[in-house]
Structure 1
């Protein structure tokens, strides 16, 4: 069940120019955490000037143990009704034989983040693509290195950091923060006003895009001016690999309209289709 509730602020950073701090609590092996990405991308493109975003890896994960989640808390809604989840296609099963353990995947993401928050986000994206779309048959270490290479981070640094105390400590900080924020459902998105001691707002689960925009407005207490979305060509150049459904969500158009525009770009030699069992993905050709 989705839930929204108020929680007490806790800060990682003190000097932030943007008025809102946002923390996205995820499990890198969770399909719903993959499904929320187009909504987050759209929010960053239109309202990124108002908030910073940090991915927090959560869960009761220890090496060589099973991965278990607490049951979602029974919390009343801030809004009277919830909005149905976006449907986002991915493979129904994960090839566990070739997939890193939750612990190893989390440490790898933290190692990538040591090269910068954007580097970590790019690595996470490439990792989820490989995991949920079955684009690879590499074993654990080969998969992580391939994702690191595709995300453009320094491979030598990544290989050192993945075995470092710094990556392990960063992951432990995420787990501690998740506990303090009472995260019981993933994905969860928590917003704080950076210059206020008011309570933050936690959104558990996946809601319609308008809900997230309204939360930003409620926290800042004024109307927000969205940035215009980039044209298709600019967006595709930025993200490199995407699905028809992602385009439909980000540009608020129908699936058929998104598919039609992408086919036009295919005829121009700008993208190529990558079919999967559940969805058609597209790769940008520079």
Structure 2
């Protein structure tokens, strides 16, 4: 029996702060709907050249150094709303030598040509490195390091970057972006069979739930997960690294409940916290010589 899934397609850019802020929402959708939803990404190319770019609302664009200062300020303000960690100290995303976010978009397409699952992990790492580690992720050497971390074949990755195939795939994504009239990120395309609806900008879970109910005529239903210690530990282990807001949102927990749980997991030596800018991540402590078959990495 061929069961239809709801496709949630995010038109995105790896260095868009509101796309970063939408990560908890996407994880809640995956947690609540499970195999009934499939999340995909189309690279929209936010900044072709920061020197020719201008965001009048946030006064971002023109001189790279000045833009970095304004972007850091904007991202910190956005973080207060979406709750994902941001590091402003030492923030250098653009320079005259590296004025574009296109390299990150193209790198994702190079990864996608090898393995979709690893490509999505890679996208998350680019977002983390850009937003919460203040790393200059449009540099090839940084992208290669991040690609290596998630287990991509670096020889193939570099080949696709150099032979033009990844750039060609990115241009196809740009065509799709223009076709749907997308001019801001994130924008979400929700599809169910032949039906589709477009939602622009950062959205709430309730908005997605309403559209999924409508577009599937009530056939696709969410399920509230248990919020036991084991369920949340499984959630952290699935994603390897999560921000507290991602636990809070997925399991409908308040800040106090979440902090108490994280403290307990730390005391039991099951998880650790890792400082990240104005926030932190929670990671499962991997036991000695635990090897990941997908990435080919053994961790201690």
TM-score range, shorter chain: 0.7 to 0.9
Cross-structure match for 2:6 = 20
CA 1:56–1:138: 2 relative to 1, 3 Å: closer
Residue 162 of structure 2 aligns to a residue whose secondary structure is coil
Residue ranges of structure 2 left out of the alignment (5+ in a row): 58-80, 287-300
RMSD of aligned C-alpha atoms? 2.9
Query: Aligned to 2:206, which of 203, 210, 233?
Result: 210
RCO higher in structure (CA 8 A, sep ≥6): 1
**Offset, 1:69:** 6.8
CA 1:283–1:19: 2 relative to 1, 3 Å: closer
8 Å Cα contact 2:84/2:243 also seen in 1: no
8 Å Cα contact 2:272/2:285 also seen in 1: yes
Q: Distance in 2 between matches of 1:137 and 1:172?
A: 23
8 Å Cα contact 1:187/1:204 also seen in 2: yes
After superposition, residues 105-144 of structure 1 pair within 5 angstroms as: 105-134=104-133, 140-144=139-143
Q: Deviations over 1:175-232 (max 9, x none)?
A: 11111101122111111222x2x4x211111222111111111001025333564811
Task: Choose between structure 1 and 2: higher helix proportion.
Answer: 2
Cross-structure match for 1:56 = 42
**Offset, 1:52:** 2.5
**Offset, 1:248:** 0.9
How many residues are matched? 256
Query: Aligned to 1:95, which of 85, 92, 106?
Result: 92
8 Å Cα contact 2:33/2:221 also seen in 1: yes
**Offset, 1:17:** 5.1
CA 1:116–1:252: 2 relative to 1, 3 Å: same
Q: Distance in 2 between matches of 1:175 and 1:53?
A: 18
CA 1:218–1:139: 2 relative to 1, 3 Å: closer
8 Å Cα contact 2:6/2:37 also seen in 1: yes
Residue 18 of structure 1 aligns to a residue whose secondary structure is coil
8 Å Cα contact 1:23/1:53 also seen in 2: yes
CA 1:51–1:236: 2 relative to 1, 3 Å: closer
Residue 96 of structure 1 aligns to a residue whose secondary structure is coil
**Offset, 1:39:** 0.5
**Offset, 1:45:** 2.3
Residue 87 of structure 2 aligns to a residue whose secondary structure is coil
Q: Distance in 1 between matches of 2:259 and 2:6?
A: 35
Residue ranges of structure 1 left out of the alignment (5+ in a row): 1-15, 72-84
Q: Tell me the TM-score normalised to structure 2 length.
A: 0.76
Cross-structure match for 1:173 = 172
Q: Deviations over 1:38-67 (max 9, x none)?
A: 101111222242332210111365479645
Residue 197 of structure 2 aligns to a residue whose secondary structure is strand
